[in-house]
Amino acid sequence: MKFLCLVHFEPDAFAGLSPQEMARIDDATIAHDHKLRDGGHLLIASPLMAPEESVNIDRRTRMKMERLDGPFAEAKEMVGGFVLIEAADMAEAVALFDDDPIAAYARVEIRPLMVEHRHSETGVARPDFEAR
**What average pLDDT does range 113-131 have in this prediction?**
75
Q: What's the pLDDT tens digit per position in 67-76? A: 556 555 566 8
Taking the domains of the chain in order of start, what are their residue ranges? 2-112
Distance CA 27, CA 39 (A): 18
- Predicted confidence band at 61 (pLDDT cuts at 50, 70, 90)? low
Indicate the length of the chain as a whole number: 132
| Domain 2-112, CATH | 3.30.70.1060
As separate numbers, helices (DSSP H) first and strands (DSSP E) second, the chain gives 2, 6
List pLDDT tens digits, range 74-112. Answer: 668 889 999 999 999 999 999 999 999 999 999 999 999
Residue 54 has pLDDT above 70, yes or no: yes
Instruction: State pTM to two decimals.
Output: 0.82
